[in-house]
Chain A
Amino acid sequence: MDKLGGYAGNILKVDLTTGSITSTPLSPELAAKYLGGAGINAWLAYDCIQPHTSAVSPGNALVFGAGPLVGTLAPGAGRSNFTAKSPIAHFIGTSGSGHMGALKFTGYDHVIVTGKANSPVYLEIGDEVKIREAGHIWGKDTWEAADTIWGELGRKYAVAAIGPAGENLIKDASVITNKYSAFGTTGMGAVLGSKNLKAIAVCGSQGISVADPKRFMELANGLCKEIMDFPFIDYFRSLGTLTTLPDLIKGEPYGSIPYKNCQQVADEEVMKGFDVNMFFDPKMMEEHGNISCLGCPVGCKHFMRIKNGPAMGISCASAPVVCFGGICGLDGWAEVYKCAELCNRLGMCYGSVACLIAMAIELYQRGIIDKKDTGGLELDWQPGVVQDLLQRIAHRKDFGNILADGLLEAPRRIGRGADYYAMQYKGIGCSISDARSSWSLWSSSLLTNVTGQSHSPRELYGQPREVVEATLRAMGISGEDMERVLSGPGEYNVGWLTRWTEDYVFAVECFGVCTFYHQLLNIDINTWAEIYSAATGLQMDGAGLLKAAARGFDIRKAFNIREGGSRKDDTMPRRFLTEPLKARGQMRPPYDSQKLDQMVTDYYEARGWDPEEGTVSPERLAELIR
């Protein structure tokens, strides 16, 4: 097979210990097998990282990749992924961002960074690849680091940098790109920090060709027209992810936002300070403009300047409200965006760090910890406390040094039953929805997802059966698989539904296309297959895409099993299984543990994993690594 279209065609390998920089061709067979982006990243991580390697040791590999549609006019195809062994639960970690897809123009689809530099460095991937000295940037926050690197290389470079949190190996350290977007979850910032790698900067002059330009542009233009004709697109552009905030506050469709560490829900009463119309109010917002990811005609990210608050770029405008307004119980736009600004500058994941802080405040309120534990701090649901703790965590100062070890390790260090108050799935903070308020595909995917995070599934739970059926058909689900989904135990089988929606979403993610495109439009899997085929020249149908996506889940599961993962990891916070939830004046019962067990079994069965243990069979593994 000749070189495929769409792909840049090369994998860059950088060993920071030796300074070795080499390149190998991306084989068309590997491309077809795992599609690209997060899919090929997963395989490369499985292949490069020896079992039981410490996530913050030179042996861990940071894999950076962008999919085959990235760098083309396929709308929304700007995303890239960082993948590595995560320092949080020691499973595979993956995080995506819309601002580093420019990697493709450097002639590489993937970059594998191994080893550890003797002193701080940053990696310049341009028409040449250089390991540059970064001693003068070490210690700076992510915005200062980006400004310094732009000063040295020019503003055309896309820059992904860590802040003090990554340098100090905070488990929930993120990597901030161009100041306003993030590889947020699963602790990728700590992996960079452990390698003395302050930043990666990319800018190239290589072109991306497609196999069938005429057909590719017909399809890309059609998709662009469809998204721009979407009835609420102007509203979505104006508000970005805040569009969903009113529904989230109502508890739809994902379930209710947790409030004060999941002690209750963030309902209309406690969230009344977050009226989204304020976003347009000049009394609050002094400046407000769109920012796009590479190739996106929508531009749902924002640069904004809040009166008496921060001036910042932000990729997910609802996340600070959900995390700091909900989980940490703060009130007011300026306060939650101040927390977001701090998190961005320090380089930490909003969701997990908010859950860490909320855990600490609840422990203090309950008298489980006191001032002796906190270094004299009185903890309460106040902005000053939250912002102080953000600084202490990032710098591993006093009590912050304990919280810096994340939602699995910090409660172990505290002891006294603190782990009960850690609201997490596989160590990733559970900030977006409380499973007791309403079961959703979002919740179910969090439960079983290989990385403990999910922006994945399209939300179908609670939809009429005919809508589910039509959506599944568009996703390419038919025959026996459709029957299994629709066979229950309830109205439909959540475990099976989760598997198929995850595969559809992951295929698109591997292309490098933003999740909002398929959340807004019900795009047929065969349309995606046509776009992929026109771009690459590789004839693949929708079923082929779903098979490739399933390989991406299986290889990541195999990674986790190899690290000692088991069924016990596929669970939810114990609080959800034991405590009722006060939601809108009513008490909702704890989540039924038998129902949870059945859902996990159904999901394993749907994936073809061992229904008891969730393991990938030796035969399947042999296929994956062949």
Chain B
Amino acid sequence: MARTAEISMAAEHCSGCLRCALACSFFTSPEEAFNPSQSKIQVTPGPEDGQFEVTLTEDCTHCGICVHYCEFGVLSQD
């Protein structure tokens, strides 16, 4: 998908559901497989309990599919 605006993040709202990573892997890979390890957005439990770290990989195109699947207001895109 084409790159649009940069994705911004508010990781403090993340609940760790991985729907962003599931969607990214499914929609951006030719094999259409759900595979969070291959996603361009990575969600990892943080060092503090109840917190998650959310990062985009260098090859993320900011297509916005992860934004569409986030229901917790973590991801946004102008």
Contact = CB atoms under 8 A, between A and B. Distances in A.
B50 A205 contact: no
Contact of B35 (A179, A207, A217, A311): A207
Contact of B71 (A228, A291, A293, A294): A228
Interface string A34-76: 0000000000000000000000000000000000000111000
A303 B35 CA distance: 26
A205 B37 contact: yes
Interface in A291-320: 291-299, 303, 311-313
A217 B65 CA distance: 13
A72 B34 contact: yes
19 contacts: A73-B23, A73-B69, A105-B36, A155-B44, A180-B49, A204-B37, A205-B35, A205-B38, A206-B35, A207-B35, A208-B34, A208-B35, A209-B31, A228-B71, A287-B50, A291-B50, A292-B15, A294-B18, A299-B71
A273 interface: no
Contacts of B6: none
A73 B18 CA distance: 9
Contact of B49 (A205, A297, A299, A313): A313
B10 interface: no
Interface size class of A (residues with CB under 8 A): 35 or more
B22 A156 contact: no
A224 B70 CA distance: 11
Interface string A550-593: 00000000000000000000000000000000000000000000
Contact of A299 (B15, B33, B34, B35): B15
Contacts, number: 86
Given A290-B72, A303-B50, A71 B17 contact: no
A293 B49 CA distance: 15
Interface in B6-39: 12-13, 15-19, 22-23, 25-26, 29, 31-38
B34 A293 contact: no
Contacts of B29: 207
Contacts of A71: 22, 34
Contacts of A488: none
B71 A297 contact: yes
Contacts of B17: 292-297, 299
A209 B32 contact: yes
